[in-house]
């Protein structure tokens, strides 16, 4: 297709941005699935709960198998498209055929692993179901429980309800608090597992998550989610703690998902060798760019992903690249299209192929300074505009194509039209935009809906504090019950039957107190649905 820019007309090739976005999203899902799989299995492995460990493995492998299936489908569609457009024997098509085969092989490997783990889990489940025999004495259709004993259960239930009714509301509230706290604890365990954090480092990570959950619009659980994404990107404890405020500010200002924001921010930090503690610099640069150009945070992030490494190598700052990104976006050149254009332009200027070298020689351009470093992009743009001011439009297109290449032509012409002064001005504005991310985030929350969000975060933080007080006790009870069930499971059937009958008779006449009586009344129903 063609795209008009000023008085020039340049050809723009269709790219595979849709495919790349799809694969990138699936890769992010797979990284998250892998980290959840590792964390969940480690938790149950450490507690010695083999059944839960296998269940977590089955669930995790199912999720990974599903995601990999989508990856295969994306590669298949892309391969079929290349066959139609370029032919089966073209190098690009053959390369993608290998990628398709590799993705299919991974899918098949996951299927095999899932079958093995599922079989092991089913075998364990079958063995564990013998525990149902412990309670078979209570089943109504077994014909082994007399009417007198059934009436004892009924009376116990009535007495228990009367004695425990007062505490029901409190029990429900406590149960809710424990669940919220347990969910947060689980999320932080995932962070610790992925980041390989020590117990001391886990305390610091948890303290940071609690603090940010209480002082920002994000809940403790959402902060933990953000930490997990950074850990997946290879960040360790100190880096995660240093980067979180800037990450949350970027997500809040851009109104973007924490996973997407984490990918963007961590990529930029890595590409430009920026310390995690300086994440606010990235947050402010990205926020100023998307609030002063026709680009979203995701589009800017995609451009940076393509052009960042080349820009860093060429000596172009993150702020100058952001300025060029915003200028291109205002002309409709965004995301990976802009990234490809900037990467090609910078690469060809720094290490010119023959056509670019001829154009540089023809114009007498000075690309590097006295130290051999590439001059600012704005300076080179100004030189080109000055040297070609008497050229015809056709000659200018020729020079632009020689310097930037066919695929980068539209973006490069956009920068030439903007001129070095505009690039410099935008760059300086970005450099001086400190605090803009936090400012935008706060302004967006300065309304009733924002106040409700802050209240929600504060309440969530308080609920976790309450739930944490009960978790140690609840965990001891749960672990104790697990040991009892496992003990019963390994007894001979004859012993299990004797214990069940004797225990039922004794318990029916000796249990005292509202809670105990109520529990006794529920035993038959528990037995009906008893499963491990």
pLDDT above 90 for 481: no
pLDDT at 135: 44
Torsion sign (Cα): 74, 77, 82, 83: positive
pTM over 0.85: no
- Residue-wise pLDDT for 497-516, tens only, equals 565 555 554 444 444 444 44
Indicate the average pLDDT of the chain.
75
- Residue-wise pLDDT for 144-172, tens only, equals 444 544 554 454 455 455 444 444 444 44
Q: Please give the helix or strand (H or E) that residue 193 lies within, else none.
A: helix 168-195
pLDDT above 80 for 342: yes
Distance CA 173, CA 469 (A): 13
Domain ranges of the chain: 8-154+479-532, 196-283, 292-433
Distance CA 10, CA 4 (A): 7
pLDDT at 493: 63
pLDDT above 80 for 411: yes
- Per-residue pLDDT averaged across 443-469, rounded? 55
pLDDT above 60 for 468: no
Per the rule left: phi > 0, alpha: psi between -120 and 50, beta: everything else, 143 is: left
Distance CA 269, CA 345 (A): 22
DSSP for 279-326?
A: HHHHHHHHHHHHHSSS--HHHHHHHHHHHHHHHHHHT--HHHHHHHHH
Of 532 and 108, which is predicted with more confidence?
A: 108
Q: Could you tell me how far CA 100 lies from the centroid of its own chain?
A: 25
Of 467 and 476, which is predicted with more confidence?
A: 476
Distance CA 45, CA 387 (A): 69
- Per-residue pLDDT averaged across 80-89, rounded? 82
Q: Is 435 helix (H, G, I), strand (E, B) or coil?
A: coil
pLDDT at 128: 56
Helix ranges restricted to H, 87-146: 91-128
pLDDT at 169: 44
What number of H helices and E strands is found in the chain? 22, 2
Instruction: Report the range out of 228-232, 245-249, 322-326 with the highest average pLDDT.
Output: 322-326
Strands 2-5 and 8-11: antiparallel
Long-range CB contacts for residues 427-431, cutoff 8 Å, separation at least 24: 427/317, 427/319, 427/320, 427/322, 427/323, 427/378, 429/288, 429/292, 429/323, 430/284, 430/285, 430/288, 430/289, 430/319, 430/322, 430/323, 431/319
Whether the CB-CB separation of 289 and 325 falls below 8 Å is answered with yes
Q: Could you tell me how far CA 257 lies from the centroid of its own chain?
A: 8
CA distances to 201, 469, 500, 515 from 175, rounded to whole Å, are: 29, 12, 30, 16
pLDDT above 70 for 268: yes
pLDDT at 294: 92
Quick one: pLDDT band at residue 379, thresholds 50, 70, 90? Answer: very high
DSSP for 394-406?
A: HHHHHHHHHHH-T
pLDDT at 167: 46
pLDDT at 175: 52
Distance CA 56, CA 53 (A): 5
pLDDT above 70 for 333: yes
- Per-residue pLDDT averaged across 402-410, rounded? 90
Distance CA 342, CA 336 (A): 10
pLDDT at 127: 59
Distance CA 368, CA 3 (A): 32
pLDDT above 90 for 401: yes
What percent of the chain shows pLDDT beyond 70?
67
pLDDT at 321: 94
Whether the CB-CB separation of 78 and 69 falls below 8 Å is answered with no
Q: Could you tell me how far CA 215 lies from the centroid of its own chain?
A: 22
Quick one: pLDDT band at residue 53, thresholds 50, 70, 90? Answer: confident
CA distances to 56, 285, 348, 358, 359 from 353, rounded to whole Å, are: 54, 32, 6, 9, 10
- Per-residue pLDDT averaged across 319-342, rounded? 93
Of 523 and 100, which is predicted with more confidence?
A: 100
């Amino acid at each position: 297709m063609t795209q008009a820019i000023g008085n020039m007309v340049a050809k723009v090739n269709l790219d595979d941005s849709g495919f790349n976005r799809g694969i990138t999203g699936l890769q992010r899902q797979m990284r998250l699935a892998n980290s959840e799989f590792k964390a969940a299995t480690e938790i149950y492995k450490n507690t010695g709960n083999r059944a839960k460990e296998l269940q977590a493995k089955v669930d995790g492998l199912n999720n990974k198998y599903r995601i990999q299936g989508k990856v295969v489908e994306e590669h298949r569609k892309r391969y079929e498209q290349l066959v139609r457009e370029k032919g089966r024997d073209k190098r690009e098509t053959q390369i993608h055929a290998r990628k398709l085969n590799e993705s299919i092989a991974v899918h098949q490997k996951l299927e095999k692993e899932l079958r093995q783990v599922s079989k092991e889990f089913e075998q364990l489940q079958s063995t564990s179901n013998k525990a149902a025999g412990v309670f078979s004495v209570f089943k109504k259709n077994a014909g082994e429980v007399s009417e007198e004993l059934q009436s004892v259960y009924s009376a116990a239930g009535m007495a228990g309800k009367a004695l425990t009714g007062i505490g029901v509301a409190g029990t429900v509230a406590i149960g809710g608090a424990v669940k919220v706290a347990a969910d947060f604890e689980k999320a932080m365990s995932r962070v610790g597992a992925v980041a390989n954090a020590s117990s001391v480092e886990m305390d610091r990570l948890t303290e940071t998550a609690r603090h940010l959950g209480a002082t920002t619009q994000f809940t403790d659980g959402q902060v933990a989610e953000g930490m997990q994404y950074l850990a997946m990107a290879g960040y360790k404890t100190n880096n995660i703690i240093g980067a979180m405020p800037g990450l949350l500010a970027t997500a809040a200002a851009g109104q973007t998902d924490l996973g997407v924001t984490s990918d963007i921010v961590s990529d930029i930090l890595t590409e430009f060798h920026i310390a995690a503690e300086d994440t606010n610099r990235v947050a402010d640069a990205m926020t100023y760019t998307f609030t002063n150009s026709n680009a979203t945070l995701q589009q800017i992030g995609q451009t940076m992903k393509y052009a960042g490494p080349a820009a860093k190598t060429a000596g172009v700052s993150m702020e100058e690249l952001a300025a060029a990104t915003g200028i291109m976006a205002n002309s409709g050149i965004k995301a990976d299209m802009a990234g490809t254009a900037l990467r090609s332009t910078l690469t060809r200027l720094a290490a010119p192929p023959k056509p670019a070298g001829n154009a540089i020689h023809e114009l007498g351009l000075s690309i590097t300074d006295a130290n051999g470093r590439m001059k600012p992009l704005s300076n080179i743009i100004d030189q080109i505009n000055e040297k070609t001011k008497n050229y015809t439009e056709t000659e200018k297109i020729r020079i632009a194509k020689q310097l930037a290449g066919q695929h980068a032509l539209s973006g490069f012409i956009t920068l030439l039209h903007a001129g070095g002064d505009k690039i410099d001005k935008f760059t300086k504005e970005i450099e001086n935009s400190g605090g803009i991310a936090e400012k935008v985030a706060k302004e967006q929350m300065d309304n009733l809906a924002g106040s409700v969000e802050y209240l929600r975060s504060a309440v969530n933080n308080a609920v976790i504090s309450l739930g944490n007080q009960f978790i140690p006790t609840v965990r001891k009870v749960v672990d104790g019950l697990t040991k009892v069930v496992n003990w019963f499971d390994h007894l001979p059937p004859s012993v299990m039957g004797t214990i069940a009958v004797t225990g039922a008779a004794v318990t029916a006449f000796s249990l005292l107190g509202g809670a105990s009586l109520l529990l006794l009344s529920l035993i038959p129903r528990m037995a009906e649905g008893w499963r491990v």
